[in-house]
Amino acid sequence: MKFGVNAWVWVSPLTTDGVAELAPKVKALGFDWFEVPLELTDSLDYARAGAILRDNGLGVSVCAAMGPDRDLIHPDKAIRDNGIAYLKHCVDAVRALGGTNVVGPLYSAVGRVWQMTADERARDTDLLVTQLRELAEYAGDKGAVLGVEPLNRFETSFINLAAQAIEVVDRVDHPACRIMLDTFHMNIEEKSLGAAIRATGKRLVHLHACENDRGAPGTGNVTWGEVAAALREIGYDGPVVIESFTSKVQSIARAAAIWRPLAASQDALAGDGVKFLKTLLA
């Protein structure tokens, strides 16, 4: 496995200078993977950032930031088209950085929730399958992979469970469309984290290993023993990434509801978390 951390632990939005500052810190803390969140499409020099990460011995993935104008199942076609264009940019970005995985809630804007009838859900699922198939073909041709992430009910009303992601990904039926799970969201929505991981099986391409309060993994009530056993059972050997946020960046703090410090420092959150995960999954 590769153990990583998302730049959102420290900064938002990430710039090329931010990569240069964070990469050696991340390596020194014990990580071998760095996750790049792409809130903006013009804040990074991908070639330079990729070289910095390689020089520090860090693998890389891209985390999509799905906002109000990036939504694959929105009623407004212009917003849907913009979502497609944005995710194609993410694919191009991850390849320029030297990675393969583009992960996140690759279906709707984070925070958009709406009541659906069964027929409306079926219609939107059909639309999403069509959209993701186009994106998977694009990603596959570029040598990239999509990881569709279920979110908790307060951040989306569309895909909350591993079972819902499995339905969509199996219908897309393309090797470049797989699943990312996040233990923070799973801890809210799943009856059993282990059962959800086992059901996902070989579809799992990426894991966000996050505590129930977004603090350092191992300091809360996520059932980590169950997670570890299930990952071993399915033979998972992909990235394991800590995703958290800082209350010092007001825009991301509001979006992620981070109202207080979650550790003595952001470095401590990351460093303590990766030590725990390496011991857990060794």
Is 35 catalytic? The answer is no
Q: How far apart are CA 82 and CA 74, in angstroms?
A: 10
Segments of 129-268 assigned E as strands: 145-148, 177-182, 204-208, 239-242
Q: Half-sphere exposure (CA, 13 Å, Cβ side) for 72?
A: 29
Backbone angles phi, psi at 178, to 5 degrees: -130, -160
Q: Which of 35, 149, 190, 211 is catalytic?
A: 149
Q: How far apart are CA 236 and CA 201, in angstroms?
A: 8
Is 190 catalytic? The answer is no
Asked if 87 and 60 touch (Cβ cutoff 8 Å), the reply is no
- Residue (of 226, 161, 163, 219) closest to 193 by Cα position: 226
Q: How far apart are CA 112 and CA 70, in angstroms?
A: 11
Q: Which of 35, 155, 190, 243 is catalytic?
A: 243
Q: DSSP letter at 240?
A: E
Q: Tell me if residue 147 falls in helix, strand or coil.
A: strand
Active site residues: 149, 243
